[in-house]
Amino acid sequence: MFSPALGLNSTAQKPYSSSQTLPPQDLGMIISAILSLRYDIPCRASRILNPSLSLLIKSSISSSGGPPTPAFHIPQDLSTIFEHLQLEPMIPNYICCPQSFSLNGLTESVTTDQPHCQRHNDPNDHDPPCTQSLGKFIYSFEPRTQNTTNIKQKFIPTTHFLYQPFKNWLAVFLQRAGIMEILHQHQQSQMPKGSPKCDIWNGLVWKCFTGTRNINDPPFMFIPGALAFSIYVDWFNAHGKSTRLASIGPIMLICLNLPPSERLKPENVYVAGIIPGPKEPASLQLNYLLMPLINELKELWQGYHFSPTSTGPSGSFIRVAILTAIADVVAMRKLTGFISHSGNHFCNFCTIHKAQIEEIGPQFHYTRSYQNHKSTIAKWLRATPQQRQAIFSEYGV
């Protein structure tokens, strides 16, 4: 579970005691962290600022007439300060195959000298094994005693994928002061009759969504603690408008329970990770990068108790569902598993063939159904690589 910064295990207010004073070193590190995180003071400036901050605190203590304090030192490196204050987020570093984009464990779990892609160990993978090298070890030598040397090794992946655990982010999000009240108020808000529809919750389909295919079950959004998100995926050139090309992109979730004016604020947007470049993954390859998030979403769909939250130390039972996807046409097809807009069955709502694209009568197409979609996917999973391509072309999923 998430370890709260500075050991603050509750959002409830505590009575102030004059004996609760911070050591000068901790005070200096907190000030340095605030200047960096709140006011965007760069790391290079902190290296100059922190020694000056130490002198300022020492002179303030001496001029106040208080008892002498032991010598202290504020680290110049911000990463050291964040680690000491437990502000450094827990972000697993996955080894990503530069060829297939499959995830091959964490960087610290490497045991072989020359690791290669293990994509073929996936039970749903029927392609030939990938022999792509994943990286290399670097070694450093540190004298331990006069006659011995300590050898340290570190694995450096060719490509890596940093993933921010969703539950960790959600734990921090739900502790923010007043956030639970904001989520509840917008969920219960009613649109005046006859007013224009201007938000996703104005649509009837979302109010009726159960996620169970059982119309007798209560709508998901009326269940206490239910949170709905949109998933966003896109790519851009890491070099801007340069002729050099390196396509990378974010995987993000936006909380739909928030009012529209709050949803896209940076502090309210969850960034799962950055899709590594320099090339875009194919549709199937994107699945590998989504798996850490999908595994957490499957758990959160069943429900997870977060404690504490902004409502108090007892916390809340939270369920999460992904309702919509946000992307352009190309990214949307990759994300949702549909064939591209140039495929035979290009529409993700119906089964019309591109040869009949100019026909608009209902006799030329059939609406896609949940049952057919699931059966096609099951057939695809059992098929060989050649059969999978034929199924993809025939059904468009």
**DSSP string spanning 112-178?**
SSS-B--GGGSTT--SPPP--B-EEEEEEEEE-SSS-EEEEEEEEESSEEE---HHHHHHHHHHSTT
Q: What average pLDDT does the chain have?
A: 84
Average pLDDT of the segment spanning 305-310: 93
Which tens digits make up the pLDDT trace of 6-15? 333 343 444 4
Strands (E), the chain: 93-96, 103-106, 135-143, 149-157, 160-162, 226-233, 236-237, 247-255, 269-275, 304-306, 316-326
Could you tell me the pTM of the whole model? 0.79
Q: Is the pLDDT of residue 16 over 60?
A: no
pLDDT, position 115: 87
pLDDT, position 9: 39
Residue 148 binned pLDDT confidence (cut-offs 50, 70, 90): low
pLDDT, position 306: 95
Average pLDDT of the segment spanning 223-234: 93
pLDDT, position 231: 96
Q: Cα–Cα distance between 59 and 91 in angstroms, integer?
A: 39
Which tens digits make up the pLDDT trace of 287-302? 999 999 999 999 999 9
Q: Is the pLDDT of residue 92 over 60?
A: yes
Average pLDDT of the segment spanning 247-254: 95
Residues 280, 247 contacting (CB under 8 angstroms) = yes
Residue 313: φ, ψ to 5°: -70, -20
Q: Is the pLDDT of residue 95 over 70?
A: yes
* Nearest alpha carbon to residue 50 among 23, 30, 64, 71: 30
pLDDT, position 242: 80
More confident position, 328 or 70: 328
pLDDT, position 2: 36
Average pLDDT of the segment spanning 40-65: 82
* Nearest alpha carbon to residue 82 among 23, 24, 36, 42: 36
pLDDT, position 233: 95
Instruction: Report the 10 Å Cβ neighbour count for 123.
Output: 6
Q: Rg of the chain's alpha carbons, rounded to an integer?
A: 26
Structure tokens at 80: 């050291």
More confident position, 317 or 51: 317
pLDDT, position 175: 94
Structure tokens at 392: 């993809």
For the purposes of burial, counting CB atoms within 10 Å of the CB of 243, is it exposed (0-12), middle (13-18) or buried (19 or more)? exposed
Residue 358 binned pLDDT confidence (cut-offs 50, 70, 90): confident
* Nearest alpha carbon to residue 49 among 72, 33, 26: 33
Least confident stretch, 83-87, 285-289, 293-297, 376-380: 83-87
Average pLDDT of the segment spanning 17-46: 80
CA 329 to the chain's CA centroid: 22
pLDDT, position 199: 81
Amino acid letter for position 371: Q
Task: Give the SS3 label for residue 76.
Answer: coil
Residue 217 binned pLDDT confidence (cut-offs 50, 70, 90): confident
